[in-house]
Structure 1
Amino acid sequence: MLSLLNYTGLTIVGYTAVVLGIVSLMPFLVMSSIAIPKIHPHRWLSLGQKGVEKDWNLYFNTLFWNLNFWDSVSTMAGEVDRPQKTFPVALLVAVVFTCVAYLIPLFAVTGSVSVDQSLWENGFMANAAEIIAGKWLKIWLEIGAVLSAIGLYEAQLSSNAYQLLGMADLGLLPRVFAARSKWFDTPWLGILVSTAICLGFSYMNFTSIISSANFLYSLGMLLEFASFLWLRRKMPGLKRPYRVPLSLPWLAALSLVPSAFLVVIMVYATKVVYLVSGLMTVGGIAWFFLMRLCKSKKILQFSNGDVGEVNGED
């Protein structure tokens, strides 16, 4: 049912995401306001409760998962008016807003609630809301969390669907993936395939899902950074919607910081994550050669990747 919303188009998805974002953040704002008189700043300086083991794997993966996938918006650049001006401003505002939206409730709860830290696990923020204001705020916050998850699903589904469409336009996937709805001009097959994949992985627990997603995302980001530096060195004059105003040495130094963090995330992965990510990576490589075979044998129809064809001028 949620996937049907994506079928109606990015405009509706965008406005829906804004409404869901506002509604889901309201209980956190109310909780933070009520917590102000109860805050004891010295609690922010705590290094952790003795006897409670620190789960660094879960911490790094949750932190990374909450703050990644910014590059996913690039898959929808073709649907945005003047992306070279819109994207930098939108990303800057979104990054600042996201960090503030995480930090304010976190400081409010850690400064006002004193409980055994072994109780800090999935869902504790709702329990903290009950401690601060009562049962009514806990229920409201849980509703906000559900709405937030819906918004996240809609945004990620849009990104995945348009990525498949773009790969089809470039001849990396069969041309059928570039098919759009006659009524809403949306990539219906990409939406359908992405929905099926989400359902296929829904059996995994939260930690395994975000850890696997982070591992695969880290591999992809390392490839993106390498491609970014290689293209700047080999094709500095290549036409692009936006150019990072730095020289190659500075770009390399800039890329080293997130690359180091990506490696840390991959090192902290569990055996299950290595297994799932390894199988998916091998499957992706096998799929690449399968598509190359289908293209050479003309088993399926592929676009040739021409600019005119990509822009719908063929």
Structure 2
Amino acid sequence: MGTVIGAGVFFKAAAVASHTQSAGLALFAWLLAGFLTICGGLTVAELATAIPKTGGAIQYIEATYGKLPAFLLGWAQSIIYFPANIAALSIIFATQLINLFHLDANILVPAAIVTAISVTSINLLGTRVAARVQSLTLVIKLLPIFAIVLFGLFTAGDVNVSLVNLKTGDNQSWLVGFSGALLATLFAYDGWLNVGNVAGEMKNPVKDLPRAIILGLSFVTLIYWLINFAFFKFLPVEQVSGNLNAASEVAVMLFGKAGGKIVTIGILISVYGALNGYTMTGIRVPYALALQNDFRFSAMLTKLTRRTYVPLVATLLQLGIGCGMIVIGSFDLLTDMLVFVMWFFSLLIFLAVFILRKKHPELKRPYKVPLYPLTPLIAIFGGLFILVMTTITQPYLVLAGIGLTLLGIPVYYFGKSK
């Protein structure tokens, strides 16, 4: 829950409402995304217990498909996933800061870049400092969520929300609108892929791991559904659509101007904490790849800061790519690209469960995915739906994501030829 809950719960409502133009269908998209996430988590957990190695998803890909696909996942994480997360969250932080203090909207890009630089600077001070920031923000980020949910449920709203109306707006195709909404919600559930990384350290993974996944992700899904219900209860779908300040506006309606500002500050701290978490984790991926000598410039990427032993060049590389994405991208564009790329690799991991069961039946599996093969098939179907519909509706985004990922192939062989 601490890994998954971040900024998406506050800001993806705008994109979901824009795609569906219907409160009922938007709420259904949040539920379905949670269900797919649970199926994905239960599936990946089997690989986590069978291959309990540091590196998580990269190790699962390598064990099933070989070294190159595993490198491409690490490459995609290094140049797309983590930098895009940092860029998107920096944009959101700057947007909320401008809204809170009524600043000039033209400073959005500079403010976002300054935000990314500030978080990177904290991480260069050392892992201990970054971890303290993470622990502090983890507690604070839950406060605005529970405040909006609890007061939103027990306060009379101005809008009648129909839960059974699953139609889209007049100008929107149902399939296109719903697929776009589903893709948008999945950013808010991002982080579930790491749910099985501690499986090897559990005393009873067969019993405790599915319980942690089902209960944890079910609670996340419930929280997401309730907070979005609160948004639609106080704002009509037209006002939520495309409105990145919807959470702040609902907070003002619930708690008044002063209370609304306090909740908005809590949201800002939540976003900053999520940004710090992605920065702290992301700088270790190119560093880990460099330790395997997979880059031509591996020696440079393994350089650490003198006093704090943080990967210096890897940190600056991630910051540089992130700042470039801030300049050329928007919040929804960046998050859609990273969700598409990561769900492509997630699909490979879902398939790996079937492949490894056939190729290596002797492999010890302390935990096996429940309701096999139904659960992984649901995850696979959901992943295929997301990839196919995104390809149809946003082909240029897909081409950009695939192109950047495939750039890793010459980098891989160029590094190996050294």
Name the TM-score, length of structure 1 as normaliser. Answer: 0.74
Residue 264 (structure 2) pairs with residue 142 (structure 1)? yes
Residue 335 (structure 2) pairs with residue 210 (structure 1)? yes
1:63-212 alignment, distance < 5 Å: 63-72=185-194, 84-85=201-202, 88=209, 95=217, 98-111=220-233, 113=234, 115-121=235-241, 122-173=244-295, 174-203=298-327, 204-212=329-337
Equivalent position amino acid for 1:276 in 2:
A
Alignment check: 8 A CA contact 2:119 2:276 kept: yes
| Partners of 2:287 and 2:212 in 1: CA distance | 23
Cα deviation digits, residues 260-304 of structure 1 (max 9, x gap): 2222222232133123113212312232222223xxxx3xxxxxx
Alignment check: 8 A CA contact 2:124 2:312 kept: yes
Question: Percent of aligned pairs with the same residue?
Answer: 16
Deviation larger for 4-13 or 44-53: 44-53
TM-superposed deviation, 1:42:
6.9
Aligned partner of 1:43 in structure 2 is: 161
Name the TM-score, length of structure 2 as normaliser. Answer: 0.58
| Partners of 1:31 and 1:235 in 2: CA distance | 49
TM-superposed deviation, 1:259:
2.1
Residue 394 (structure 2) pairs with residue 263 (structure 1)? no
Q: Which has the higher contact order (CA 8 A, sep 6+)?
A: 2
Deviation larger for 124-133 or 23-32: 23-32
Alignment check: 8 A CA contact 1:32 1:109 kept: no
Cα separation, partners in 2 of 1:130 and 1:2, compared to 1, 3 Å: same
Alignment check: 8 A CA contact 2:122 2:129 kept: yes
Secondary structure of 2:202's aligned partner: helix
Residue 138 (structure 2) pairs with residue 18 (structure 1)? no
| Partners of 1:73 and 1:198 in 2: CA distance | 25
Kindly tell me the number of residue pairs found equivalent between the two proteins.
Answer: 283
Alignment check: 8 A CA contact 1:52 1:118 kept: no
| Partners of 2:353 and 2:287 in 1: CA distance | 22
The one of 122, 125, 130 equivalent to 1:5 is 122
| Partners of 1:219 and 1:212 in 2: CA distance | 11
Cα separation, partners in 2 of 1:251 and 1:170, compared to 1, 3 Å: farther
Aligned partner of 1:304 in structure 2 is: none
| Partners of 2:236 and 2:232 in 1: CA distance | 12
TM-superposed deviation, 1:24:
2.9
The runs of 5 or more residues in structure 2 that have no matched partner are 1-117
| Partners of 1:237 and 1:175 in 2: CA distance | 38
TM-superposed deviation, 1:142:
2.8
Larger radius of gyration: 1
Residue 398 (structure 2) pairs with residue 274 (structure 1)? yes
Alignment check: 8 A CA contact 1:49 1:117 kept: no
The one of 324, 346, 349 equivalent to 1:224 is 349
The one of 145, 150, 153 equivalent to 1:28 is 145
Alignment check: 8 A CA contact 1:31 1:133 kept: no
| Partners of 1:231 and 1:145 in 2: CA distance | 42
| Partners of 2:249 and 2:261 in 1: CA distance | 10
Equivalent position amino acid for 1:84 in 2:
E
